[in-house]
Structure 1
Amino acid sequence: MIKYIKQGWKPLLLLTAMLLVIAGCGKNSGGGIVEGKVNVVTSFYPIYEFAKTIGGEDANVINLLPAGVEPHDWTPRSQDILNTSKAQLFLYNGAGLEGWVPNFLKGIDSGSSLVTVEVSKGIELIDAEGDDGHGHGEEHGDEHGDEHGDEHGHEEGNAEESEDTHHIDPHTWVSPKSAKIIAENIKDSYIQVDPDHKEGYEARFTELSQKLDELDAKFTAALSGLPKKEIVVSHQAFGYLCRDYGLTQHTIMGLSPDAEPRAQDLVELSKLVKDEGIRYVFFEELVSDKLAKTLAGEAGVETLVLNPVEGLTKQQQEAGDNYFTLMEKNLQNLILALQ
């Protein structure tokens, strides 16, 4: 009898381990479906924050991307597809950021009532030259997300494309002006699937919109009077910020932080930093700062953080940071760099 019990521990331990793995998958996916609320699945952090703010007590928002993960090369798992099939809304940026979306939507249960919304719709998108090395930000068609749509303006990369191919810059949310359009699209999507709580969604959107207007005004006032207008950044994530506030970005990498620069590019950037009197090279916290520090060392300047707000680190989560606190820090670092 004792021998049987001891042998029985092995399958019991195995079963326990499997249950822990399954539970862990759900936690990493940002939570589960909640009955009695509008269940919303978001593709990455900024959309998650805006969706939670606008949804308030009427919504349960699940973010697919775990803390500390850079979104460009992340791909969902089967558990993410299962959760999303049970939700009412799936919100993603579009403009080529989430290359996994078309296949992801094909996996959604055919009986699902999910409404899919591309929240960058309505933003005047920016063309960006050059290949990012991963097919992100590729040519973006006129189609936008709709309910169970398979066409979301994303086209597969062509191996024969030249390096001068035009791509779309997907980093729309980095400018408060564009972020306001994203927030309005999120508000409209809530009203579409849950018109009974329209008043609450509109009220919370109005509060968020006012905060974005205030942030926009701060950027406009602070940056318009500075003598310098050029910044050097890790990857091509600040096009909308630069367009809206009269700046020019020079990038070490392309649209994706994984796109490797050529040695010639680094030499030219180093010369530009010296010639233009640029005092800082900006880097990001979710990707390696090695190249930024290498360039800064070569040019004899310092480094500073400029955050594309693609996600929070665990430390930022614990500190209570959010879109607004990170953008305020960005503004302070831009003021320091451009004086």
Structure 2
Amino acid sequence: MKKRFLAFLTIVFVSILLVACGQSDSDSGKKSSSSDKLQVKTTVFPVESFIKQIGGKHVDVESIYPKGTDLHSYEPSQKDILDASKSDLFVYTGDNLDPVAKKVAGAIKEDDKKLSLESHLNKSELLKEEHEHEHEGEDHDHEHGEKAHDHEADHDEHEHHHHGIYDPHVWLDPKMNETMVKAIRDELSKKDPSHKAEYKKNADELLKELDGIDKDMKKATEGHQGDTLYVSHESLGYLAKHYGFKQQGVQNMNAEDPSQKELTDIVKAIKDSNTKYILYEENVSNKVTDTIRQETDAQPLKFNNMESVSKSQSQDATYQSLMKENIKNIEKALNK
């Protein structure tokens, strides 16, 4: 509660400061920097990667999210909001997909300085959270027990955000990314029409590579329709839907730990199915996943959920390069 109140005060302060500073650079064709390049701020790594590839030498892009952070417990700082507000463009997945970015976008008064990719997506293809872990039932069953007290204390210490209405992990799906790439291409062209042809050329090349990722995913999942992949938190929803497999997250979409009953059921299912691998994400808590590994013979396989990337990855990685690593491990896990 304290974190939310502080975040609210930050947004109010920044909004007042922005109004006081005026709106001198709000015109569509006017850049916020003396540099000839468009200054763009964004959020999750795939969107940053797409902007960088489409914009090329004409765009400077940076994510407001710290490298390697767990976005489920991240709050935007005053500097994050100010930096995004001073840029030529803030690109994010959408208000109903990323509540953290929604706070930043809400402080930017000029509509032509922010791009919500959600508005370009087919909302009928967006997924809602399948289920929530049984915290209420667990608290009721152990209302007077020490375990319930520890469980509650743990949640107070590690406060998590709930995502918006929809599963936010749209950026992992190459087909949905095609729509986002086109929206980014068009917005950069509107902001910087003198380089429209180059943005189109770069976007066309990127779209071809995304089509290749789609083909690779189809090949990796062929013959495994209905098979279950275990992952440290539910980030595979769109991939599972489009390529026909099932996901079982140790943590749910909001990175909340399972109840004791759910944990017992997951361990039993892994043992009964003789599952060899669990997809393991580096930027979420893996304490419960480690417990499952100790209780079963399942081994970890790295999976890049791309909410954020490490400093070393940020140097030369792209969505395509990280997704190719993911596909190899998805295929290995399915061919257990």
1:136 is aligned to 2:132: no
Preserved contact between residue 98 and residue 168 of structure 2 (Cα < 8 Å): no
3-state SS of paired residue (1:328): helix
3-state SS of paired residue (1:202): helix
What is the TM-score normalised by the length of structure 1?
0.75
2:126 corresponds to = 125
1:306 is aligned to 2:332: no
1:337 is aligned to 2:333: yes
2:262 corresponds to = 265
What letter matches 1:249 in structure 2?
A: Q
Q: Deviations over 1:29-77 (max 9, x none)?
A: xxx9452222211122111110111111221212211211122332222
2:202 corresponds to = 204
RMSD: 2.3
3-state SS of paired residue (2:247): strand
1:105 corresponds to = 105
Q: CA deviation at 1:201?
A: 1.0
Q: Which runs of 5+ in 1 are unaligned?
A: 1-31, 140-167
When structure 1 is superposed on structure 2, of 219-228 and 66-75 the one drifting more is: 219-228
The total of aligned residue pairs comes to 276
Q: 1:234 aligns with which of 232, 235, 238?
A: 232
Cα gap change, 1:62 to 1:275, in 2 (>3 Å) = same
3-state SS of paired residue (2:91): strand
3-state SS of paired residue (1:252): strand
Preserved contact between residue 45 and residue 311 of structure 1 (Cα < 8 Å): yes
For the residues of structure 2 that align with 1:73 and 1:36, how far apart are their CA atoms?
36
For the residues of structure 2 that align with 1:324 and 1:185, how far apart are their CA atoms?
18
Cα gap change, 1:170 to 1:310, in 2 (>3 Å) = same
2:143 corresponds to = none
What is the TM-score normalised by the length of structure 2?
0.75
Preserved contact between residue 173 and residue 239 of structure 2 (Cα < 8 Å): yes
1:296 is aligned to 2:293: yes
Structure with bigger helix share is 2
Q: CA deviation at 1:185?
A: 1.5
Q: CA deviation at 1:241?
A: 0.9
Q: Deviations over 1:54-108 (max 9, x none)?
A: 1112212122112111223322222222222222211001263431334323433
For the residues of structure 2 that align with 1:254 and 1:96, how far apart are their CA atoms?
18
Select the structure of larger CA radius of gyration.
Answer: 1
What letter matches 1:195 in structure 2?
A: P
Preserved contact between residue 43 and residue 101 of structure 2 (Cα < 8 Å): no
3-state SS of paired residue (2:235): coil
2:80 corresponds to = 80
Q: CA deviation at 1:228?
A: 7.1
For the residues of structure 1 that align with 2:89 and 2:68, how far apart are their CA atoms?
24
Q: CA deviation at 1:227?
A: 7.8
1:41-60 paired onto structure 2 within 5 Å: 41-60=41-60
Q: 1:188 aligns with which of 186, 189, 208?
A: 186
What letter matches 2:218 in structure 1?
A: T
Q: 2:211 aligns with which of 206, 209, 213?
A: 213
Q: 2:242 aligns with which of 244, 266, 269?
A: 244
3-state SS of paired residue (2:268): helix
For the residues of structure 1 that align with 2:60 and 2:90, how far apart are their CA atoms?
12
Preserved contact between residue 96 and residue 136 of structure 1 (Cα < 8 Å): no
For the residues of structure 2 that align with 1:247 and 1:227, how far apart are their CA atoms?
5
For the residues of structure 1 that align with 2:103 and 2:305, how far apart are their CA atoms?
26
3-state SS of paired residue (2:326): helix
3-state SS of paired residue (2:96): coil
2:26 corresponds to = none
What letter matches 1:78 in structure 2?
A: Q
For the residues of structure 1 that align with 2:187 and 2:81, how far apart are their CA atoms?
20
What letter matches 1:136 in structure 2?
A: H
2:136 corresponds to = none
For the residues of structure 1 that align with 2:294 and 2:231, how far apart are their CA atoms?
15
1:148 corresponds to = none
Q: CA deviation at 1:287?
A: 2.0
